[in-house]
Structure 1
Amino acid sequence: MSHYLDSDDKAYNRVYKQETPDILRAFNDFNTAVFAAEGRELPLKYRELIAVAVAFTTQCVYCIDGHSKNAVAAGATDAELAETAWVAAALRAGASYTHGRLAFKFTEHERRHEHTYA
């Protein structure tokens, strides 16, 4: 397989429906509540843009496809999608920078004792 996001991928939902229908139903109910058009504090457009940013960060092509379209349907502009991409890029870069500090932390003992090996 050389790609993802085939138009017939949703057909595999049958496995979830057959094997774990209760969990699938709970997930769908949860997802429906999170992305309800009304009754939430954050407007749907903002929630969809957040979802797009998370999808960029997790690199879920299915989520990028669906939530980008949903964001535009909720009124998002190309400029807003572009800024969403930059927000996700900044977070990924920031996470690499801050997690880089862990490399120093985890190797601190080895650096202090680097010349004690026989």
Structure 2
Amino acid sequence: MAYQEPEDSRFTRVYQETTPDVLEAFGAFNQAVFSDERMVPKKYLELIAVGVALTTQCSYCIDAHSKAAVAAGATEQELAEAAWVAAAIRSGGAFAHGRLAFKLSGADHQR
């Protein structure tokens, strides 16, 4: 699967043809979330989105929200710090869920 080839956007037609109401609602929801009228400044909303996109590893979201963050005034240092926050949260999740693996493994871990 290639990332963001020019013809990829043509597949949006599937949504347009099959679920136009949901596509419209999603668009409106996305616009509301990233509205300039939010209490949290746009730059911070976009930096949050970058961190989430890095965590979910969505190339399209990383592309769009990194550009939007810079357009909203984010610096490379702020993007780097957002990336480190995402890395910390993702690795913290693995650490925390590792304990669940111990619990669910059935092995006796009483020492």
Whether these two folds match at TM > 0.5 is yes
- Identity of paired residues, percent? 60
Give matches, 1:3-14, under 5 Å: 3-14=2-13
Tell me the residue number matched to 2:57: 59
TM-score computed with the length of structure 1 as normaliser: 0.88
CA RMSD of aligned residues (A): 0.9
TM-score computed with the length of structure 2 as normaliser: 0.93
Question: Quick one: which amino acid aligns to residue 68 of structure 2?
Answer: N
Corresponding pairs, count:
108
User: Which consecutive unaligned segments of at least 5 residues does structure 1 have?
Assistant: 113-118
Query: Aligned partners of 1:7 and 1:82: how far apart in 2?
Result: 28
Q: Report how far residue 18 of structure 1 moved.
A: 0.6
Q: Report how far residue 111 of structure 1 moved.
A: 2.1
CA offset digits 1:71-107 (Å, max 9, x no partner): 0000000000000000000001100000000011112
Query: Aligned partners of 1:5 and 1:11: how far apart in 2?
Result: 11
User: Which consecutive unaligned segments of at least 5 residues does structure 2 have?
Assistant: none
Match of 2:41 among 32, 40, 43: 43
CA offset digits 1:37-89 (Å, max 9, x no partner): 2x111000000000000000000000000000000000000000000000000
> Which aligned segments of 4 or more residues in structure 1 are displaced greater than 2 angstroms?
none
Q: Report how far residue 28 of structure 1 moved.
A: 0.2
Query: Aligned partners of 2:75 and 2:43: how far apart in 1?
Result: 10
Structure with the greater alpha carbon radius of gyration: 1
